[in-house]
Amino acid sequence: MRPSAVLESALYVTDLAAAEHFYGTVLGLEPAGKVEGRHVFFKCGKGIVLLFVAEATRHAPPPDARLPVPPHGAAGEGHLCFSATEDEIDSWKTRLNEAGVAIEAEFEWPRGGRSIYFRDPSGNSLEFANPSIWGL
């Protein structure tokens, strides 16, 4: 047996309101859930992007918690890559530039395909890449 896909990907943010605006408005992801001061979730294709305030998730849930999710969190910037066609990467470059988001790097991969890298308001490294970079 092996997993068939990644269902959720989590990043940790320092400013939940800025993250909600960036992922919802700049990236256009559809909201999927929110708890003020703790997290905001977005749909992305067949998966979910989870954005947590790390300090709010590092402690064990109270004994009477409706959903007793174990503690988790991370320090520092994370990374997430979104799948995009070559044409979509060009469109994303334009959209990000118009939103004042700097493209940090752009290059061709040895297996083929191209990537652009940029940062969210919390400093997480985000990428748009053609799946061919992984031979997909």
Evaluate whether residue 122 is within a structural domain. yes
This prediction has a pTM of: 0.93
Evaluate whether residue 128 is within a structural domain. yes
pLDDT at 78 over 80: yes
* Cα-to-chain-centroid distance, residue 100: 18
C-alpha gyration radius of the chain: 16
pLDDT-derived band at 87, boundaries 50, 70, 90: very high
pLDDT confidence of residue 94: 97
Distances (CA, A) of 116 to 23, 70, 112: 17, 34, 14
Q: Is 42 exposed, middle or buried (0-12, 13-18, 19+ CB in 10 A)?
A: buried
- Which range marks the domain in which residue 28 is found? 8-60+75-134
- The CATH number linked to 121 is 3.10.180.10
pLDDT confidence of residue 126: 98
3-class SS at 129? strand
Q: Taking all residues of the chain, what is their mean pLDDT, rounded to a whole number?
A: 93
Greater model confidence, 3 or 117: 117
pLDDT in tens, 23-70: 999 999 999 999 999 999 999 999 999 999 998 888 887 778 787 888
Evaluate whether residue 35 is within a structural domain. yes
Q: How many domains does the chain have?
A: 1
pLDDT-derived band at 3, boundaries 50, 70, 90: confident
